[in-house]
Chain A
Amino acid sequence: MSHDRAVAVDPAQHRGKAFGRLTGVGGALAVAGVGASVALAGGTPQFYFSWLVAYLFFLSIALGGLFFVLVLAVSRAGWGVSLRRVVENVMATLPVFAVLFVPIWLGRHELYAWARPEEVAKSALLRGKAPFLNEDFWFVRAILYFVAWSALATFFSTQSQKQDETGDERISARMRGIAPVGIILFALSTTFCSIDWMMSLEPEWYSTMYGVYFFSGAVIAIFSFVILLVQFAYTQGALRGVVTTEHLHDVGKLLFGFTIFWAYIAFSQYFLIWYGNIPEETVYYMKRQVGSWQSVGMLLAYGHFLLPFFFLMPRAAKRSSALLVIAAVWQLFMHFLDLHWAIMPVLHPESARPGFVDLAAFSAVGGVFLAAIGWVSSRRALVPLGDPRLPEALSFENV
Chain B
Amino acid sequence: MRFVPQLFPEGEHFGLLAEYDSPGALVRACEHVRDAGYRKWDAHSPFPIHGIETAMGLGRSRLPYVALIFGLGGALGGMALQIWANAIAYPMVISGKPMFNWQPYVPITFECGVLLASLATVFGMFAFNKLPMLFHPLFGVEHFAKATDDGFFISVEAWDPKFDARATGELLSSTGARRVHLVRRREDAAP
Contacts from A to B (Cβ < 8 Å): 1-3, 267, 270-271, 274-275, 277, 313, 315, 397, 399
Contact for A2 among B51, B60, B64, B106, CB less than 8 A: B51
Contact for B106 among A1, A267, A313, A315, CB less than 8 A: A267
Q: How far apart are the CA atoms of A272 and B59 in the complex, in Å?
A: 45
Please report which residues of chain B, range 87-137, place their CB below 8 angstroms from some CB of chain A when the two chains form the complex: 95-96, 103-104, 106-107
Residues of B within 8 A of A2 (CB): 50-51
- CB A321 to nearest CB in B, in angstroms, measures 20
- CB A344 to nearest CB in B, in angstroms, measures 25
Taking a contact as CB atoms under 8 Å apart, the answer to whether A275 and B104 are in contact is yes
Contact for A1 among B51, B60, B103, B104, CB less than 8 A: B51
17 contacts between A and B (CB under 8 A): A1-B27, A1-B50, A1-B51, A2-B50, A3-B50, A267-B106, A270-B103, A271-B103, A271-B104, A271-B107, A274-B103, A313-B68, A315-B60, A315-B64, A397-B51, A399-B50, A399-B53
Taking a contact as CB atoms under 8 Å apart, the answer to whether B51 and A277 are in contact is no
Closest to A270 in B: B103
Q: How far apart are the CA atoms of A271 and B102 in the complex, in Å?
A: 10
Closest to B107 in A: A271
Residues of B within 8 A of A267 (CB): 106
User: Contact string, B52-76, partner A, CB cutoff 8 A, digits 1/0?
Assistant: 0100000010001000100000000
Q: How far apart are the CA atoms of A270 and B103 in the complex, in Å?
A: 9
What 7 pairs across the A-B complex have the smallest Cβ distances?
A1-B51, A274-B103, A271-B103, A2-B51, A1-B50, A267-B106, A1-B27
Q: How far apart are the CA atoms of A297 and B95 in the complex, in Å?
A: 25
Closest to B51 in A: A1
Residues of A within 8 A of B51 (CB): 1-2, 397
Residues of B within 8 A of A275 (CB): 103-104
Contacts from B to A (Cβ < 8 Å): 24, 27, 50-51, 53, 60, 64, 68, 95-96, 103-104, 106-107
Q: How far apart are the CA atoms of A399 and B58 in the complex, in Å?
A: 12
Residues of A within 8 A of B60 (CB): 315
- CB A356 to nearest CB in B, in angstroms, measures 37
Q: How far apart are the CA atoms of A315 and B63 in the complex, in Å?
A: 13
Q: How far apart are the CA atoms of A2 and B49 in the complex, in Å?
A: 11
Closest to B55 in A: A1
Residues of A within 8 A of B96 (CB): 277
Closest to B23 in A: A1
Q: How far apart are the CA atoms of A277 and B103 in the complex, in Å?
A: 13
Contact for A277 among B64, B95, B104, CB less than 8 A: B95
Residues of B within 8 A of A1 (CB): 24, 27, 50-51
- CB A319 to nearest CB in B, in angstroms, measures 12
Closest to B60 in A: A315
Residues of B within 8 A of A315 (CB): 60, 64
Residues of A within 8 A of B53 (CB): 399
Q: A1-B50, A271-B103, A397-B50 are in contact. List 10 more A-B contacts (CB 8 A).
A: A1-B24, A1-B27, A2-B50, A2-B51, A3-B50, A270-B103, A275-B104, A313-B68, A315-B60, A399-B50
Closest to B106 in A: A267
Residues of B within 8 A of A3 (CB): 50
Q: How far apart are the CA atoms of A274 and B105 in the complex, in Å?
A: 13
Q: How far apart are the CA atoms of A166 and B11 in the complex, in Å?
A: 66
Residues of B within 8 A of A270 (CB): 103
- CB A269 to nearest CB in B, in angstroms, measures 12
Closest to B103 in A: A274
- CB A253 to nearest CB in B, in angstroms, measures 13
Residues of B within 8 A of A313 (CB): 68
Closest to A268 in B: B107
Closest to B104 in A: A275
Residues of A within 8 A of B107 (CB): 271
Contact for A271 among B64, B68, B106, CB less than 8 A: B106
Q: How far apart are the CA atoms of A399 and B103 in the complex, in Å?
A: 38
Q: How far apart are the CA atoms of A1 and B56 in the complex, in Å?
A: 12
Q: How far apart are the CA atoms of A277 and B97 in the complex, in Å?
A: 10
Residues of A within 8 A of B64 (CB): 315
- CB A271 to nearest CB in B, in angstroms, measures 6
Q: How far apart are the CA atoms of A277 and B51 in the complex, in Å?
A: 56
- CB B154 to nearest CB in A, in angstroms, measures 17
Q: How far apart are the CA atoms of A277 and B64 in the complex, in Å?
A: 40
- CB A346 to nearest CB in B, in angstroms, measures 25
Q: How far apart are the CA atoms of A274 and B107 in the complex, in Å?
A: 14
- CB A275 to nearest CB in B, in angstroms, measures 7
- CB A273 to nearest CB in B, in angstroms, measures 10
Q: How far apart are the CA atoms of A275 and B95 in the complex, in Å?
A: 9
- CB B66 to nearest CB in A, in angstroms, measures 14
Q: How far apart are the CA atoms of A248 and B96 in the complex, in Å?
A: 49
Residues of B within 8 A of A277 (CB): 95-96
Q: How far apart are the CA atoms of A313 and B95 in the complex, in Å?
A: 38
Residues of A within 8 A of B106 (CB): 267, 271
